[in-house]
Structure 1
Amino acid sequence: MSLKILEFETQNSKYIYDGVTGTVMAVDDILLDCIYGYESKGEEELQQELRKKYQDERRIDAALAFVKKYSTKAFYVDDEAEKEKWEDSVNVTGETIQNLLKIGFTQQIILNVTEDCNMRCKYCFLSETYHYTRNRTNKMMSVETAKKALDLYFSMMKQYGEINPGKKCAVTFYGGEPLLNFEVIKWAIEYTKKNSPIGYMFNITTNGTLLKGEIADYLVQHNTAITVSLDGCEEEHDRNRLSAGKKGTYKTVTDNIREFVKKYPSYKKINLSCVYDYCTDLITNDEFFKENSDWLPYVGSVSLVSTNGTDYYEQFSEEDIRKFTERFIRFRQEYAMAVIQNEKRSSYKDIFFTLQLMPAVLKYGIEDKKLPIVPYTGACFPGMKFSVRTDGKFDVCEKIEGTRSIGDVDSGFDVEAIAQLVKDYNRNVTAQCGRCPISKQCPMCYAYAIRNGSFNSPKCDELVQVFKASLMTQYTILEYNPHATDNFIYREEWILNS
């Protein structure tokens, strides 16, 4: 048996996060010693040891009784059982994948309608900055390819809809800059409306430079959820998000947003996606979004420039990192105080920390089991969503490098390729997850672990420390404001575009 807990402290209290049940509980030293010693020492030996150390029989007996009652369901994992679970995950077969695809796990199709873009963002994952992703090209998805992809998707969703009548087809448009291939987007929307076997919804991620006129009208007319990339104030946005002519794009994007909001003031299915790096002034950005909240859509995501397979971060000095760390700590303190005091916050600040703290708030309990093929980390079932390249090949998602295709529009899903992907991932990434206290909350997935077609061991200590910091922040807030997380909500667009 192995202990599966994570200790953390606030200024006022000591806690543990129980990785078996997904529960956070306040502890004192006696209870903590009971949890650590119960399995290895036995009840009688542990009781004698604790009485010598603490000389408080009532509290010791209460702590022992508590641990004895819950030790079979919490705190500890059976090492042999976890080993068997992991071994099963590295022996997945194509037949298993085929059976899972039939059950109805697929939710979303992502059409990468172009690999071209009218911008040259310095951190773009389709640029030479990233070593293993496909590079920007002028390739456009054809109507024929889009039709084949949608027909396959609809055939699967028809079957799933019979199992789950509330299920909807989720069609997302991605790029490059997807609006460069607006004709195929229009065709796909019309085709979906005519041929989808169940309900449907549309999503698009755009740089915002073309979000105007006929294009904006059409997307609103068809109730499309729109995510626009805007990194913050003009200085922050134009530092990285440049046009093909290497000029800033802030004015173009914000002019289009202003016009959109003016024309469609009640349209709520538009949000902003922000990216930051070690030179981003988070506090200045927060002020920008707060001061302009009367016309800016809400911020739906704030994410760090990807660190996977890139030399992007070589530009930052130790001084840059030190200054960013100082700003981040101040930013986090401001957020905590604002939540404690129920002060109004910018959506930028809220989402920056909400998405970090969400795992600390959402409880994944003992019965919340993942699929046996991916029992640990945040990795999904390949095929739950699938990304279609311009040439019709399938990827696990739009964020993964293009070295491990899982099928194509002509042959459908390659179940053997999916099985091999899962086996390689579990063999190289999840071998130690059974004992890890955050295995139910770990953000690691295929896209973050892969390098040039191979999966690398994750930096587990860093992931645990990030989760621990989130717990410390969240429970500091809850000590002063127990209702602080009552309004944590999911927006459908967050999930589909995350």
Structure 2
Amino acid sequence: MRAPSEVLAAPPATSEARRLFSLSAPHAPSVHLFQTEQGHHLLVVNGSRLFDVDAEVFESLDRARLARDEASLQRQLEELGVSEAPFIDDQPVESPPVRALSLAVAQKCNLGCTYCYAQQGDFGGPARNMPLRTALDSVELLLRDVGQGERVNLSFLGGEPLFNRSVIRAATQRAQELARARGVSLTLSLTTNGTLLNAEDADFLEEHGFAVTVSLDGLQETHDRLRAFKGGQGSFARVMENVAPLLSRQRRMQVSARVTVTPRNLALRETLDAFVDMGFHSVGFSPMLSSPTGRDEMGHAELELMLEQMVACGREFERRLIAGQRYPFSNMVNAMREIHKGTHRPYPCGAGAGYFGVSASGELAACHRFVGDEEGAMGDVATGVDRTRQARWLTERHVHRQEPCRSCWARYMCSGGCHHEVIQRGRPACDYIRGWLHYCLEAYSRLSQARPDYFGLTPAAG
């Protein structure tokens, strides 16, 4: 059961989130319709394809959509020439190769975040570091069957991974040696709470071109309330002191801020502007939907407030992009890219497919969140991926097997949501996700006309 949480620093709700909740309601699984100042727009769910339509076509489709008349919708799509064979069928992905690993190099942490999926860093077990041999075996697994020109990613997480920096450095060196020898593109990433970063880390991370994500949950007062040391004192001042050299040095390295949104830190626009001004390469927000203790989980009311704030951030992104200014709001940047590409997929991420988490003792998990959780157990680095477990996972987690996803227009954009959150808590955020996607579709329609060059498009004549 969700534990009660006091809503602090929450801006008042307006009608914008409720407008989006209403307009994004899942009336039909095959289409979604929306209007902007630029006209009338049709999203064909199959293939995530966007079209501009005239008012008469829009009204006809809308009548069928609101009546939930799928037969009429299919006839109209055929008449418009946009009906295609399914882009995604019911078949799960079969035995995909390993292309990304996240190593829990330190299952320990010095912070006491009550909502942490890793149960304050130790994943519910004894605090421990990953032995060097396990890390090197993980690197071998990642690069074992990779062909020339392919791309792989090696990530380091915890707990707090910098408790085991010597293993991070040795594993990085070995991975780069193997990648160079095999003609493979290797990307490296590190997620840290920032409290242990030092000048040597800054040199190392810049030299090797790491994507560094720093967990920051707001400005000082808010962050210290949510991300205090286990002794109770705040961590913000130390984090910012430690991160400053990275922010000033990032050339090959990119340093981003990730904010976990709870009922106690909903002032997102203020947070975003402050972190952008500090020099972070990007800033992103993710709602806390599943906490081991139930504390600080977001409910519908808090998600409504979050949507208000996300849209406020999105509108500032629109304003600045049109003005030719950079505004690295990563949720918006990613949404614009995915909508433009027409992204459609049966899974929300690579978890249990090409991406796995590795525990300190070498067990493979469906992702970093499933470390130590039998639900997502997938073998170990010594013997490789358990293909039987993987096949069952990919069958059960396919979006066509999820409810109420099968009847939702957003299913190939959301793809059913984070596996870990859904298994732990269900789907409390569907209205929020659809509302955010609806706004992003509106924004894309505006920006693709105002800044076609941003998307690599040619401006319309006249």
Shorter chain as denominator, the TM-score bin is 0.7 to 0.9
Is the contact made by 2:321 and 2:327 (CA closer than 8 Å) also made in structure 1? no
TM-score normalised by L of structure 2: 0.76
Shift of 1:416: 0.8
Aligned pairs for 1:213-224 (under 5 A) are: 213-224=199-210
Amino acid at match of 2:107: E
Among 405, 424, 428, the alignment partner of 1:451 is 424
SS at match of 2:43: strand
Shift of 1:345: 4.9
TM-score normalised by L of structure 1: 0.71
Aligned pairs for 1:268-283 (under 5 A) are: 268-278=253-263, 279-283=265-269
Corresponding residue number in structure 1 for 2:111: 119
Corresponding residue number in structure 2 for 1:192: 175
Amino acid at match of 2:402: T
Corresponding residue number in structure 2 for 1:353: 332
Residues 169-198 of structure 1, C-alpha deviation per residue, up to 9 Å, x if partnerless?
432111111110112222222333444552
Corresponding residue number in structure 2 for 1:70: 81
Among 421, 427, 449, the alignment partner of 2:393 is 421
Shift of 1:422: 2.1
Partners in 1 of 2:321 and 2:209 — Cα distance?
33
Shift of 1:458: 7.7
Partners in 1 of 2:225 and 2:398 — Cα distance?
39
Shift of 1:441: 1.3
Amino acid at match of 1:179: L
Corresponding residue number in structure 2 for 1:179: 162
Corresponding residue number in structure 2 for 1:494: none
Task: Give the greater-gyration-radius structure (CA).
Answer: 1
Amino acid at match of 1:394: L
Is the contact made by 1:212 and 1:260 (CA closer than 8 Å) also made in structure 2? no
SS at match of 1:242: coil
SS at match of 1:191: helix
Return 5+ residue gaps in structure 2 as ranges. Answer: 1-27, 458-462
Partners in 2 of 1:447 and 1:8 — Cα distance?
31
Shift of 1:256: 1.5
Is the contact made by 2:212 and 2:253 (CA closer than 8 Å) also made in structure 1? no
User: Aligned in 2, Cα 1:31/1:245: closer, same or farther, shift over 3 Å?
Assistant: same
Q: Quote the sequence identity (%).
A: 20
Give RMSD over aligned pairs.
Answer: 3.8
Partners in 2 of 1:216 and 1:8 — Cα distance?
46
Corresponding residue number in structure 2 for 1:24: 50
Return 5+ residue gaps in structure 1 as ranges. Answer: 47-63, 90-95, 371-375, 489-498
SS at match of 1:447: helix
Is the contact made by 2:113 and 2:226 (CA closer than 8 Å) also made in structure 1? yes
Partners in 1 of 2:149 and 2:124 — Cα distance?
38
Partners in 2 of 1:397 and 1:334 — Cα distance?
33
Shift of 1:286: 3.2
Among 192, 216, 231, the alignment partner of 1:245 is 231
Aligned length: 418
Corresponding residue number in structure 2 for 1:387: 357
Is the contact made by 2:137 and 2:381 (CA closer than 8 Å) also made in structure 1? yes
SS at match of 1:111: strand
Partners in 1 of 2:159 and 2:140 — Cα distance?
23
Partners in 1 of 2:39 and 2:453 — Cα distance?
18
Corresponding residue number in structure 1 for 2:22: none
Shift of 1:379: 4.5
User: Aligned in 2, Cα 1:429/1:137: closer, same or farther, shift over 3 Å?
Assistant: farther
User: Aligned in 2, Cα 1:287/1:386: closer, same or farther, shift over 3 Å?
Assistant: closer
Partners in 2 of 1:192 and 1:297 — Cα distance?
27
Corresponding residue number in structure 2 for 1:438: 410
Shift of 1:246: 1.6
Among 294, 303, 314, the alignment partner of 1:311 is 294
Shift of 1:485: 4.0
Corresponding residue number in structure 1 for 2:7: none
Residues 253-307 of structure 1, C-alpha deviation per residue, up to 9 Å, x if partnerless?
1111223445x36454333333333333123223323443xxx331253322344
Is the contact made by 1:142 and 1:184 (CA closer than 8 Å) also made in structure 2? yes
User: Aligned in 2, Cα 1:237/1:334: closer, same or farther, shift over 3 Å?
Assistant: same
Residues 348-394 of structure 1, C-alpha deviation per residue, up to 9 Å, x if partnerless?
xx324223444333224xxx7x6xxxxx2424372412111011110
